[in-house]
Structure 1
Amino acid sequence: MNLALKDIRHSLFRFVLTCFGLGLLMTVVLAMIGIYNGLVADALAIVKAPEAELWVVEAGTQGPFAEASSIPADTRDAVARLPGIAASGAITYQTLETESAGKALRLYVIGYETGRLGGPSHLIAGREIGTSHFEAVADRKTGLVPGDTIRLGRDRFTVVGLTEEAMNSGGDPAIFVTLADAIALQTEIAPAAERVRAARGATPPSANNVAAVIARLEPDADVELVAATIRQWKHLSALSQSDQENLLLASVVDRARRQIGLFLGILLSVSAVVIALIIYTMTMEKLKQIATLKLIGAPDRTILGLIVQQALILGGSGWGIGLTLILLVKDNFPRRVLLEPMNAAVLAGIIVVVCLVASGLGIRAALKVDPATALGG
């Protein structure tokens, strides 16, 4: 006879309710792990999307993500002529807010040269941009579908394709347009503001600047050597793909990542304390039954097995409920919740350790019970 299961059946409703409450706590823990992973993945997604190996930006900046960067668009031709460069492309980035289906929609607009580096890495629906103006490829999280139209600036763009997992570090979904359209969006100003600018004789903003030039190298080319060559041009700087990713994590999302990580640590600590208290309380409620077991000659290992098995069943049930719930609701979060099998496995290991430690507290109390307690009233 398994005493742990028999005791659970004796108070099944309360045990199930306790497991469900613990499961909700595990759901929050897994959600925070997923949000942390999603924050990092979102931040790196936009850097990895062009599948570039080299980023050429304005000298003295760490652009185009950590800082603003503006370089002449024809820099792409100069970079393309360098030894070791296999492909290159000019690219721009900007954030704007528009309206779709009666709701405000915040977008990360990426302008690229069709047929060159910088466009969407893959499509899940529709086709690529086929004209020089007023077509777009949107991330599926925008809620747009091929055939929809959306106003960007003063013009309406037709969505011709969909991609996925293209967003900036703030979680804003991306929309890809041609470089010419993106530059027009960057430089256009309201008519009233244009009249004021003309009256003051101010210089109009440059209509031929981009945020960066990206490049892919020949298989035998040394990225550091090519980057060093570009840095010799006084008005340019160059970053490798790994440098760009590390810079993004160290500057743009570092504070948010650390804050979420700290909150996750607090949640794990609270979960450990809650599990320990639940198991300890369950043990203290059974002291009279434990005393009876001792009185009839049950060995200590029987009592130890009773407490440890119940603790592991409680922790395992809570973990299973939490994992099931987060998998069901994670797609409804406004930010991406990214859970990997290793995350669930590590949390399971942590729960097992916590349950064993908490069992130790209960076992210590149980082994101190005087068998004569069972004869009391």
Structure 2
Amino acid sequence: MNLALADIRHKLGRFVLTCLGLGLLMAVALSMVGIYQGVVTEALALSRSLRADLWVVESGTRGPFAEASRIPGDVREMVARLPGVAAAGAITLRTAEAQAPQGTIRVQVIGYEPGRPGGPSVIATGRGLGGTRFEIVADARSGLPLGATLLLGRYRYHVVGTTRGLVASGGDPLIFMQLRDSQDLQFRLAPAAARRAIAASTGGGSTDTVNAIIARLHPDADPALVAETALRWKHLAALTDQEQSDLLTLSVVNRARVQLGMFTVVLLFVSAVIIALIIYTMTMDKLREIATLKLIGAPDRTIIGLVLQQALLLGGVAYVAAVAIVFSARDVFPRTVALGPAEVAVMAVVVAVICLLGSLVSIRAALRIEPQQALGG
């Protein structure tokens, strides 16, 4: 006869409610782990989708994500002629608010030249950009379906394709459009301001400006060597794909990662304290039963097994409930909840360790119970 299972069957309703409450707490901790991983996933989503081996930006900056960067559009031709470069494309990036059918949405606009590097690698539904202007490809998180119209600036754009999982480092959905359309949005001045700029000879009428040039290299090319060649032009800086990834994870989203990590640790600590209190309460509720076991000669290992089994069953059932809650609700979260088998398995080990440590106080208290207490009033 398993004493732990017998006790749970005797108080099944209380055990289920306790597991549900503890499961909700674990679901919060597990979702924080997923959001922590999701911050990194979101930060690298665009760079991975573009499949760029080299980023050429303005000299003295670490753009285009960490800092503002502006370079002439004709730099693309210069980069394309570098030894080892297979293809090069110009891109612009701009965060904006747009009027969608469901209301105002915040997006990051990516401008690129169709047929060159810079566009989404995979189209989920619809098609990519063609030769027609005022078309966009929007990520599904924007809530824009195929055929929808988006008012951005002074123009209306039509959704011809959608992607999945492409968001900016801040969580804003990405929208891809023609480079010319993006340059007009970002760099073209209003008519009155343009006239003043032209009159002042500051070149206010030109929009041939981009934020970065991305390049794909031949398989046998060395990214570091190509970057060093690009650096010979004094007005340019170059980063390899690995340097860009390190910059995104260690600089752009580092503060958010640290904050989420600290909050996750606090949640796990709170979970450990609550689990320990629950196990201790369950053990003290069986004070007379444990005393009776000792009175009839049950060894200490039987008492220890009773407490440990209940603690592990409590943690196991609660964790299964937490996983079910998180995976059924993670698509509703405004940020990506990136949970894979590795994260779920590691968290399961953490919960098991917490249950084992939380049961130590209860085991110590159970072993100190005197058999005579079974005969008390």
SS of the equivalent of 2:318 reads helix
Whole-angstrom CA distance in 1 between matches of 2:258 and 2:107: 26
Task: Find the counterpart in structure 1 of residue 162 from structure 2.
Answer: 162
**Contact in 1 for aligned 2:189/2:204 (Cα 8 Å):** no
Task: Find the counterpart in structure 1 of residue 96 from structure 2.
Answer: 96
The alpha-carbon deviation at position 206 of structure 1 amounts to: 3.9
**Contact in 2 for aligned 1:132/1:180 (Cα 8 Å):** no
The alpha-carbon deviation at position 270 of structure 1 amounts to: 0.7
RMSD: 1.5
The alpha-carbon deviation at position 318 of structure 1 amounts to: 0.8
Whole-angstrom CA distance in 1 between matches of 2:323 and 2:298: 37
Task: Find the counterpart in structure 2 of residue 128 from structure 1.
Answer: 128
Whole-angstrom CA distance in 2 between matches of 1:206 and 1:312: 68
SS of the equivalent of 1:93 reads strand
Q: Name the stretch that deviates more: 131-140 or 83-92.
A: 131-140
- Say if 2:49 is the partner of 1:49: yes
Counterpart of 2:188, as a letter, is E
Q: Deviations over 1:263-286 (max 9, x none)?
A: 001001111111111111111121
Task: Find the counterpart in structure 1 of residue 9 from structure 2.
Answer: 9
Whole-angstrom CA distance in 1 between matches of 2:218 and 2:102: 48
**Contact in 1 for aligned 2:139/2:164 (Cα 8 Å):** yes
Distance 1:173 1:12, change over 3 A: same
SS of the equivalent of 1:13 reads helix
**Contact in 1 for aligned 2:97/2:104 (Cα 8 Å):** yes
Q: Deviations over 1:304-355 (max 9, x none)?
A: 1111110000000110111101111111111111111111111110111111
**Contact in 2 for aligned 1:187/1:205 (Cα 8 Å):** no
- Say if 2:33 is the partner of 1:33: yes
**Contact in 1 for aligned 2:133/2:178 (Cα 8 Å):** yes
- Say if 2:326 is the partner of 1:295: no
Task: Find the counterpart in structure 1 of residue 86 from structure 2.
Answer: 86
- Say if 2:21 is the partner of 1:21: yes
Whole-angstrom CA distance in 2 between matches of 1:335 and 1:353: 29
Identity over aligned pairs, percent: 56
The alpha-carbon deviation at position 189 of structure 1 amounts to: 3.5
The alpha-carbon deviation at position 72 of structure 1 amounts to: 0.9
Task: Find the counterpart in structure 2 of residue 148 from structure 1.
Answer: 148
Q: Equivalent residues in 2 for 1:238-253 (5 A)? A: 238-253=238-253
Q: Name the stretch that deviates more: 143-152 or 47-56.
A: 143-152
The alpha-carbon deviation at position 123 of structure 1 amounts to: 0.6
Task: Find the counterpart in structure 2 of residue 375 from structure 1.
Answer: 375
Whole-angstrom CA distance in 2 between matches of 1:116 and 1:288: 77
Whole-angstrom CA distance in 2 between matches of 1:206 and 1:248: 31
Counterpart of 1:323, as a letter, is V
Counterpart of 2:186, as a letter, is Q
**Contact in 2 for aligned 1:125/1:163 (Cα 8 Å):** yes
Task: Find the counterpart in structure 1 of residue 284 from structure 2.
Answer: 284
- Say if 2:363 is the partner of 1:359: no
Whole-angstrom CA distance in 2 between matches of 1:159 and 1:72: 29
SS of the equivalent of 2:229 reads helix
Distance 1:34 1:224, change over 3 A: same
Unaligned runs of 5+ in 2: none
**Contact in 1 for aligned 2:311/2:355 (Cα 8 Å):** yes
- Say if 2:210 is the partner of 1:228: no
Counterpart of 2:140, as a letter, is R
Whole-angstrom CA distance in 2 between matches of 1:55 and 1:205: 27
- Say if 2:213 is the partner of 1:208: no
The alpha-carbon deviation at position 187 of structure 1 amounts to: 1.9
**Contact in 2 for aligned 1:137/1:177 (Cα 8 Å):** yes
Task: Find the counterpart in structure 1 of residue 217 from structure 2.
Answer: 217
Whole-angstrom CA distance in 1 between matches of 2:199 and 2:39: 46
The alpha-carbon deviation at position 191 of structure 1 amounts to: 4.4
**Contact in 1 for aligned 2:93/2:110 (Cα 8 Å):** yes
Task: Find the counterpart in structure 2 of residue 334 from structure 1.
Answer: 334
Task: Find the counterpart in structure 1 of residue 73 from structure 2.
Answer: 73
Task: Find the counterpart in structure 1 of residue 138 from structure 2.
Answer: 138
SS of the equivalent of 2:50 reads coil
**Contact in 2 for aligned 1:129/1:160 (Cα 8 Å):** yes
Distance 1:58 1:157, change over 3 A: same
| Paired positions, count | 377
Unaligned runs of 5+ in 1: none
The alpha-carbon deviation at position 219 of structure 1 amounts to: 1.1
Task: Find the counterpart in structure 2 of residue 313 from structure 1.
Answer: 313
SS of the equivalent of 1:159 reads strand
Whole-angstrom CA distance in 1 between matches of 2:192 and 2:102: 27
The alpha-carbon deviation at position 90 of structure 1 amounts to: 0.7
The alpha-carbon deviation at position 154 of structure 1 amounts to: 1.3
Task: Find the counterpart in structure 2 of residue 59 from structure 1.
Answer: 59
Q: Deviations over 1:106-152 (max 9, x none)?
A: 11110001100000110111111112411111111111122112122
Distance 1:26 1:142, change over 3 A: same
The alpha-carbon deviation at position 363 of structure 1 amounts to: 1.2
The alpha-carbon deviation at position 205 of structure 1 amounts to: 6.2
